[in-house]
Amino acid sequence: MRLQYIFIFILACFSFGVFAQDMEQYTSPWEGKITNSNTFSLAIEIDGILSGNPMVTIANDSVILKKQFEKAENKSIRFNVGENLSFEGSFSKENNQINGFIKSGILLYHVKLNKIKADSFRGVWNILMVDELKSQRFYLSVENGSGNEFQAYPFFGDNRFTGTWCRNFQKKNDTIYFSDGKTGLNFKGKLLNEKIKLSIYLDEYIITEIVLYKSVTDWFIGDFKTNKNQKTYQILRLDTMEKLIATDSLPNTHSVLVLKQGKTIYENYFGGYTNSIPHDTRSVSKSVSSAMVGIAKDKGLFANVNQSVFDFLPREYQVYRDTLKSNIDIKSLLTMSSGLDAIDFGVEGVSKGSEGNYQNSPDWTKTIMSAPMLYKPNTVANYGSANPHLLGIAIDSIVSEPLAMFMDTNLFSKLGISNYIIQTDNVGNPYFGGGMYLTPRDMGKFGQLYLQQGRWEGEQIVSEDWVEDSFKNYRNLENTIDKNGYGYLWWHKDYLVNDRIVKSIEARGTGGQYIFVIPALEVVVVITSGNYRNGKFQQPEFIVENFILPSVLN
């Protein structure tokens, strides 16, 4: 009997130790090491699709998951691996390739699976955007711990991955849970004495485990040297610019690409970036959204840009139609002049309107359409991502296939663009307000398409009329520092170079993502950057005006 009491006492002490951890004692910076730099570069293989017994396998250095799924009709391929992980695609005409999207978190990763044998297709999915981590260090910041309450934010030593958006923080007994809303990765941390055993999952399937210890030194993230083997083109000499980038006088410049008459005359990458890494273009992809509206119009899917947005909105939003809002048409959305209280925050440092609210609401479209009107449509322009979001809702309502596939079929595949990622909205459709990931070379292709009046390799992808209308200056953006002129989701800017005014039409994204289209010089410039918090988001304009344009004109 005495032994039984001793056992109960020991068990009680053990249970108290396991279940009574206060998250305050774990509130600290933690760090560990990812064992393999290719851990998040995943091979995806589909077998048996033609024979009728399809199986999907996802693996890194070991098999992560293997699952059978039902064959879809026609050439379509669809399967769900878990609650937040799915695939949708189709066969090429020759049946030698599967082209589609992996949906994980809020991202649609475009992948191509090539035929490797009779009934087997294989491709690569880089869930962190890079094919190999330059640093295997992993960090976890556990914050605001008290009892069972906490927040936890993971950081990778390779900052070319743009970071996580973590949420759903929970603690059960001796284990913490949280998830990344962006990539869809799930995290599970076992709380141990002086360490945390962290497991990272793809849905419910484990990818890797990392043992974390409390950090004793400052974290070291990024600061990678330029890859000497990275192929660069330097017909154009920009030595001074490169020295300033190297000395951090032009901080966080990731890439510079210059095309003249369709030919690359300068291309360089900095800080470990390469030509194969899709960059977070932020609002640059608003201009891509404009192209998709134009393509839909060219195909006769809607009549003209003067149509009311209510012609496209689902029934549940028709309740917001009134005399003034019924005048919100496609053109007003393209020119940021819907009149809705939808002012953006961050790109030019302006104040928040409903822009700060709709992305935190369960129904983005409802929040936008219920916002008050500030102006009559097509009279005053205020930059805001709510406007192109409504364009995405409109175009999705008139295409016969998933919107992402419509975008790929009618734009990206025709430009030879396959290594890209689309951010989705709150219901999983492509978000026309921004957030697409493209390589700088592919950004250059898109700029060149518009410089060539919508033609690419002999094919008219976007009509010449649409490009011309897109590049017009309709009105100035009242809530921007420079009061820039604005077209169909394209910015206007004039540069003074050697007493000459050079006009540029630009796709812009916060942090310093730019595509400059300069028709008079037949030049396209692409610059990507990482200046999200230091106020230098317009640094590419300085680079173009002081280094690139003077070199081109000379």
DSSP 108-158: EEEEEEEEEETTEEEEEEETTSSSS-S--EEEEEEEEEETTEEEEEEEES-
Confidence label for 374 from pLDDT (cuts 50, 70 and 90): very high
Q: Is residue 356 part of a domain?
A: yes
pLDDT at position 88: 95
Q: pLDDT tens-digit profile of 33-63? A: 999 999 999 999 999 987 888 999 999 999 9
Question: Considering only CA atoms, which of 287, 259, 277, 272 is closest in space to residue 437?
Answer: 277
Q: Alpha-carbon distance 228 to 495, whole Å?
A: 33
Q: pLDDT tens-digit profile of 252-268? A: 999 999 999 999 999 99
pLDDT at position 24: 97
Q: Is residue 65 part of a domain?
A: yes
Which class for 374: exposed (0-12), middle (13-18), buried (19 or more C-beta within 10 A)? Answer: middle
Q: Is residue 184 part of a domain?
A: yes
Counted domains in the chain: 2
CA 528 to chain centre: 13
The reply to whether 301 and 447 lie within a common domain is: yes
Task: With H, G, I as helix, E, B as strand and everything else as coil, classify residue 365.
Answer: helix
Q: Alpha-carbon distance 167 to 153, whole Å?
A: 9
The reply to whether 291 and 185 lie within a common domain is: no
Residue 406 sits in a domain whose CATH number is: 3.40.710.10
The reply to whether 211 and 284 lie within a common domain is: no
Q: Is the pLDDT of residue 348 over 80?
A: no
DSSP track, 38-102: TTTEEEEEEESTTTT--EEEEESSSEEEEEE-PPPSTTEEEEEEETTEEEEEEE-TTSSEEEEEE
**R_g over Cα of the chain:** 25
CA 74 to chain centre: 31
Confidence label for 350 from pLDDT (cuts 50, 70 and 90): very low
490, two tokens: 């394209």
pLDDT at position 515: 98
Note whether 553 and 498 are within 8 A (CB).
Answer: yes
Q: Is residue 238 part of a domain?
A: no
Q: Is the pLDDT of residue 106 over 70?
A: yes
Q: Alpha-carbon distance 181 to 105, whole Å?
A: 5
Amino acid, single-letter form, for residue 9: F
Which class for 520: exposed (0-12), middle (13-18), buried (19 or more C-beta within 10 A)? Answer: exposed
Q: Is the pLDDT of residue 71 over 80?
A: no
Note whether 328 and 377 are within 8 A (CB).
Answer: yes
Q: Is residue 550 part of a domain?
A: no
Task: With H, G, I as helix, E, B as strand and everything else as coil, classify residue 241.
Answer: helix
* Proportion of the chain above pLDDT 70, given as a percent: 93
Q: Is residue 161 part of a domain?
A: yes
Q: Could you tell me the residue range of the domain that residue 481 belongs to?
A: 279-490
The reply to whether 333 and 463 lie within a common domain is: yes
Q: Alpha-carbon distance 253 to 548, whole Å?
A: 14
Question: Considering only CA atoms, which of 415, 421, 345 is closest in space to residue 383?
Answer: 345
Q: pLDDT tens-digit profile of 134-182? A: 999 999 999 999 999 999 999 999 999 999 999 999 999 999 999 999 9
> Average model confidence (pLDDT) for the chain?
92
The reply to whether 292 and 186 lie within a common domain is: no
- Give the domain-ending residue among 185, 208, 224: 224
Q: Is residue 253 part of a domain?
A: no
Three-class SS string for 378-441?
A: CCCECCCCHHHHHHHHHHHCCCCCCHHHHHHHHHHHHHCCCCCEEEECCCCCECCCCCCEECHH
Note whether 46 and 130 are within 8 A (CB).
Answer: no
- Give the domain-ending residue among 207, 224, 241: 224
The reply to whether 37 and 138 lie within a common domain is: yes
33, two tokens: 């090491």
For 451, list phi and psi in degrees, rounded to 5.
-65, -30
DSSP 315: G
The reply to whether 73 and 145 lie within a common domain is: yes
pLDDT at position 349: 39
Q: Is the pLDDT of residue 1 over 60?
A: no
Q: Is residue 230 part of a domain?
A: no
First to last CA, the chain: 96
387, two tokens: 């406007």
Strand order across the 185-192 sheet? 149-156, 137-146, 29-33, 205-214, 195-202, 185-192, 175-180, 166-172
Task: With H, G, I as helix, E, B as strand and everything else as coil, classify residue 226.
Answer: coil
The reply to whether 209 and 329 lie within a common domain is: no
Q: Alpha-carbon distance 517 to 503, whole Å?
A: 9
147, two tokens: 């009892």
Pairing type for strands 253-260 and 523-529 reads: antiparallel
- Give the domain-ending residue among 490, 506, 521: 490
Note whether 377 and 322 are within 8 A (CB).
Answer: no
Taking residue 427's Cβ as centre, other Cβ atoms within 10 Å add up to: 11
Confidence label for 388 from pLDDT (cuts 50, 70 and 90): very high
Taking residue 189's Cβ as centre, other Cβ atoms within 10 Å add up to: 25
The reply to whether 285 and 188 lie within a common domain is: no
pLDDT at position 9: 41
The reply to whether 184 and 291 lie within a common domain is: no
The reply to whether 220 and 288 lie within a common domain is: no
Q: Is the pLDDT of residue 351 over 50?
A: no
The reply to whether 363 and 442 lie within a common domain is: yes
Q: Alpha-carbon distance 12 to 79, whole Å?
A: 47
pLDDT at position 229: 55
Which region, left, alpha or beta, applies to residue 499 given φ > 0 means left and ψ of -120 to 50 means alpha?
left
Calculate mean pLDDT across residues 479-490: 96
Residues paired with 329 in a beta bridge: 308
